[in-house]
């Protein structure tokens, strides 16, 4: 009888395509520690895991056992939540402080021991006490069990995209002060992609996340919204995305130019690098439909095709389109650091198939500020031969304040004479 049961058990495992020897034990050490980090011209100590911001990625396969020892070296009590893992019969490893566990006190450790059962895809982990998840977070990547392919075309490579927020002030101090005053907590000062705000923010050229991609390939992006308070749109300039998974559940694929993720949500998308080789912005910006303050700043990263020549001296064409979101009106747009040629203007929506044929490429007017007609469009061209970060914005100050602004990042040329000068010795700090 026992032999018959054992045979049946082994047969069912084989039938299901799983063998106990396929499972592995993945062990991690999480040291919660303070590290000094600088973003947008501001340095401060933040709470991290292993000194990383964002923290380390936890990799496992479906069926694996994961053991993570968390040691708390900071002044705050700590707990870690493994967001989206089902934790069958094992709430002891779930992590919310004072719900399923007392927090890990300073100088103490706790061993999170759990099995990854019946799940695969993108999840994430974060602190689950106070507002510490502002900096204590990271990705969880669960690969399919051995021998089980993705239900979509195998990507050439994968990359994690973790959306977050950055406060210049100490977050816990700012929140406590707001609570004492009965006021809402302060807005963040920037959004981030993998901990970096991107080149549209000051002091942030070196704090820009870049994916180097080969042309003609398919990439899987594992996108996580780790922001505390903001729903965020995400898109890639000139590229479509095919959604194949949400919250670690395969979904019927659909193609879109932008996705929206609420805090805590994850989305996997396939991106084909089928555009002309260049550098393309990946961007995230907030959505808000309630009358409350929101950090209305756009974070950018870069999808860079391999082998792209230096962007110095590239010819840029830009079409500025007035919209009717609230009301139509004209906009005087100014570009710092350049003059440009106004090659065309028109009323209504710009038609990319018909209107370029009407461009004046013989004797267009040269300006540094162009008036975009009310309810219409203006097309400009310039040669990016002045390296640096150059602001472009509507010169109606109220519109600039509301976010009608952007910046061009023009990289250095091949010689010192074609490169940005070093900053002055008395260059002011922010």
> Per-residue pLDDT tens for 24-74?
999 999 999 999 999 998 999 999 999 999 999 999 999 999 999 999 999
d(CA 236, CA 225): 16
Domain boundaries, the chain: 10-148, 152-307, 309-430
Tokens standing for residue 255: 């193609």
CA distances from 400 to 213, 255, 381, 406 (A): 34, 33, 22, 10
pLDDT at 2: 42
Please say whether the structural domain 152-307 has been given the CATH code 3.30.700.30: no
Instruction: Provide the percentage of residues in the chain whose pLDDT is more than 90.
Output: 76
Instruction: Provide the pairing of β-strand 279-287 with 42-49.
Output: unpaired
The sheet carrying 190-193 orders its strands as 190-193, 157-166, 218-225, 266-272, 241-246, 249-256
In this model, does residue 5 exceed pLDDT 80?
no
> Per-residue pLDDT tens for 98-108?
999 999 999 99
SS3 state at 41? coil
**Contact yes or no for 266/221 (Cβ under 8 A):** no
More confident of the two residues 5 and 225: 225
Tokens standing for residue 209: 């996340």
Q: Say whether 309-430 and 152-307 share the same fold.
A: yes
**Contact yes or no for 333/231 (Cβ under 8 A):** no
Assign 310 a pLDDT band (cuts: 50, 70, 90). Answer: low
Q: CA nearest 39: which of 197, 261, 239, 214? A: 197
In this model, does residue 391 exceed pLDDT 60?
yes
> Per-residue pLDDT tens for 234-282?
999 999 999 999 999 999 999 999 999 999 999 999 999 999 898 899 9
Backbone dihedral region for residue 87 (phi beyond 0: left; psi -120 to 50: alpha; all else: beta)? left
pLDDT at 249: 97
d(CA 73, CA 14): 45
CATH topology classification for 10-148: Immunoglobulin-like (2.60.40)
The 8-class DSSP code of residue 3 comes to H
**Contact yes or no for 246/238 (Cβ under 8 A):** no
Class of domain 309-430: mainly beta
Assign 16 a pLDDT band (cuts: 50, 70, 90). Answer: very low
pLDDT at 427: 83
Assign 19 a pLDDT band (cuts: 50, 70, 90). Answer: very low
């Amino acid at each position: 009888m026992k032999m018959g049961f054992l045979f049946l058990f082994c047969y069912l495992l084989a039938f299901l395509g799983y063998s106990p020897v396929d499972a592995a034990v993945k062990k991690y050490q999480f040291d919660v520690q303070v590290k000094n980090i600088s973003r947008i011209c501001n340095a401060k100590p933040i709470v991290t895991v292993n000194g990383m911001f964002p923290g380390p990625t936890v990799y496992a396969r479906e069926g694996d056992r994961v053991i993570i020892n968390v040691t708390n070296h900071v002044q705050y009590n700590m707990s870690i939540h493994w967001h989206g893992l089902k934790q069958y019969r094992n709430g002891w490893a779930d992590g919310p402080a004072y719900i399923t566990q007392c927090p890990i006190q300073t100088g103490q450790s706790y061993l999170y021991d759990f099995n990854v059962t019946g799940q695969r895809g993108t999840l994430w982990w974060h602190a689950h006490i106070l507002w510490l998840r502002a900096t204590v977070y990271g990705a969880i990547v669960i690969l399919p069990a051995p021998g089980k392919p993705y239900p979509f075309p195998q990507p050439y490579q994968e990359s994690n995209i973790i959306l977050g927020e950055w406060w210049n002030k100490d977050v816990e101090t700012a929140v406590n002060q707001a609570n004492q005053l009965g006021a809402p907590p302060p807005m963040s000062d920037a959004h981030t992609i993998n901990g970096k705000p991107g080149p549209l923010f000051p002091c942030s050229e070196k704090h820009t996340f870049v994916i180097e991609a080969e042309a003609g390939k398919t990439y899987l992006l594992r996108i996580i919204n780790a922001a505390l308070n903001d729903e965020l749109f995400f898109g890639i300039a000139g590229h479509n995305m095919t959604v194949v998974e949400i919250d670690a559940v395969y979904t019927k694929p659909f193609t879109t130019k932008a996705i929206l993720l609420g805090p805590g949500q994850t989305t996997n998308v396939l991106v084909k690098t089928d555009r002309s080789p260049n550098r393309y912005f990946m961007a995230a910006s907030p959505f808000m439909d309630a009358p409350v303050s929101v950090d209305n700043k756009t974070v950018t990263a870069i999808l860079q095709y391999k082998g792209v020549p230096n962007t110095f001296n590239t010819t840029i064409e830009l079409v500025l389109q007035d919209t009717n979101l609230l009301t139509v009106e004209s906009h005087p747009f100014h570009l710092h650091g350049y003059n440009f040629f106004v090659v065309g203007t028109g009323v209504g929506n710009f038609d990319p198939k018909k209107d370029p044929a009407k461009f004046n490429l013989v004797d267009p007017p040269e300006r540094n500020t162009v008036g975009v007609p009310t309810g219409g469009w203006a097309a400009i061209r310039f040669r990016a031969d002045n390296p640096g970060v150059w602001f472009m914005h509507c010169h109606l100050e109220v519109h600039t304040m509301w976010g009608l602004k952007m910046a061009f990042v023009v990289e250095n040329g091949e010689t010192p004479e074609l490169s940005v000068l070093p900053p002055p010795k008395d260059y002011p700090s922010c």
